Structure 1
Amino acid sequence: MVAAGIQLLALLLACAVSTAETGQSFNLKMWRKEDQPVQQQFSQVNEEIERLKYYQAVMKQKQEDMNQAIMHCAQMQAPRDEEVNVTTLQEGSNTLPYPFSHEDKDPEEDNDGVLDPCYHYSVLDQPWRATNFSTKNVACDQKVQWKGWYRLFYRGKTIQMPERCVKMEMCGTHAPLWLVGGHPRIRDGIVTRKVCGHWNRNCCAFKSPPIQVKACKGNFYVYKFVKPQACHLAYCADINTLVCGRCKKDEICNSRDKINWFCKKSKRRVKAKVHFFASYPGSLQGKVNRIQFSKVYVNVGGAFNSRTGVFTAPVTGVYQFFFSTQSATNGAKTDLWLVINGYWVALSHTRVSSPNSLGNLSTYMTSLRKGALVYVTHNCGYSWANSVSNTITFGGSLLLVQR
């Protein structure tokens, strides 16, 4: 019985493959029980099944690619009429949001292997969605089969959702939908925003289900639209934001009243690198108002002056400093102070009660304004060092730039 079943399955596979759209045919061997062991026969049948699945997947992918190319070509050749058939659009035809792949860069994936919506979205270019469009024929986005992410256009130019209440009977519908909470920044990633519909003098008479939004490089946004809760509601495209599509790479689109938009230079964060480390190549005794750390090992940013021993903050920010000493006087105390703008702020203290040597390292973190002066003073005692010991030292780094 097992051998007969295997023979029948092999025969069906041979027929299926020979008639597949791949145009290829395969001759499967008819096994008999006395020819090969049953386990080997099962293994060979499984191999043929997996091969068939592979060719079916290849043909399916080729068909999908062809359909997408045809739809894209049709869109590029379609005329952009002033009049839009709102009745057809509100029925949710599959030609409403046509597929589009952002080709400026290669597709990117996040840590979970999900495609970045900034490079994988559908274009939504319908002039009736503009905030200055009114019509007697109203649209309803509840009838649209929303799927995936969308980028808004107006006659081929990028546009974005309004961030303020829109008048009733605009955007080709009764209750226009606008974005509550504003658009995110690029570093915010994907965010969730509330959507409101204006009706009967109430800007949020309809609290539509929230949508997801993401800011993309190039001054545009992508939206993951969902069906509104009722008809007739439709997502708006703010005609005033057309200027945002003309912003350069080093500019951002800004508005004070959410009506008049303009491009302005973006304020890039200063990435200053400041690190220094220096030592005093000799011993100190008694009071030294300012130690001149003349042996400099690191001075990234050039903010430390080896001739004066003074560090000058090049930018406003958070800094961390350290300074050290090696005391070697029996029974005497040795004090080193970190001085910022004339104020003694941190102490390095040692007292040796026996004929031994004792070292001490102190650290201090603070916020400084640009131009602040920092140095170390030897107030009293005895500090030992030579040209190679690096026991009397002073150093620091800029941790964070502040505006």
Structure 2
Amino acid sequence: MECSHPFSCQCQPIANVNVLGAQLTRIELFFHRAISVLSISQVSVWVKSLNTQHRWVKLDFNACHKNDSNNFTLFIQPDVHCLTTKLLHFDVERFTQVRSELQLKIEFDQSLHISVSQCHILPILCLDTQGFTHFTYQDLTCSFYQPKASFQLHPLIICLHGAGEGGNNQSNILADKMAVTFANQLHQDMLDYPYILAPQCPSFWVDKFPLNGLYYYGERDYTADLLALIQDTLMKYQDIDPKRIYIVGGSMGGYQGLRLFSDTPDLFSAALIACPAKLPAAEKLHHLKDKKIWLVHSELDEVVPIENTLHLLEKVHDEQSTMPMFTLYKKVIVEGKTIDPHCVFLLLYDNQLTSGRNSIFEWLAEQSL
């Protein structure tokens, strides 16, 4: 028999990072007294954030699972395109991702005799980023993943974010799957349990770039600091394999990745580069000849036209050199919807590119100095 007096509970919002970024996926409810049954019709949860213009929007649930008599999970109707549940908000004026300031409120059917005032809503827990630690290096905000200890050497993957993920708020590991994809068990197994280093610069990797009639400015050139950060990481973690240091970069991060590779071509074994926003200096491009690089671009990209990638291919390939891997897309489709073709990097992070029977991550796993 249910208690007729109100009692308290805890509400734990859970988020995951999907192909389009971090969003709420479920709600964990912990009751201080046993409940025999709970259905989605008996619980209402609203959210508000910058993405909803601070208006309360009711969440749709598609299932309720009873873990035990005190613990239930409400699953939010999945939709990767839904802005309402996202943890980040894109500030168009500043051209950067900021926290969406997501808030929740919850109500229960009167038959449950649960006091809403005593339902404590905990901070949002993003499961996919839990394995990362965070530290600062100069003015870089770094997220770092260390694999389980073993007696073997492991690769190091450097993840370089795009123009919209600058700051000091870890938006570079929340805006898309670039870093977290390498921490999931499938890709850890595939890539021999790599370390992951995801530095976040305060604004932009380049000093200046035009977009939509405006100019945006970065603080400085971070190449030297990034190289020092990598060297310090190698010294600190002796089980990193110096023959398997990989770069992954999209858009402006694609430029910074190429810049690192061309400045120190003997340090890195391979790079995955999507729609590079800029190219290194012409006199350094020859350093990329015969290097293991997989490029991806959309021919319809209007933010970073394909000419950058085509020019790079022309400069690094001749009769005496090996042609870099290159995947050309037209449309970019995510979960059945066509999105901005500049976002072709999302397909890279989702391991959707293939060559023969190998996916792009399987190809990466084979590369070594």
Under TM normalisation by the shorter chain, which class is it? under 0.3
Which TM-score applies when normalising by structure 1? 0.23
Larger radius of gyration: 1
Which TM-score applies when normalising by structure 2? 0.24
Tell which has more relative contact order, 1 or 2 (C-alpha 8 A, sep 6+): 2
More helix by share: 2
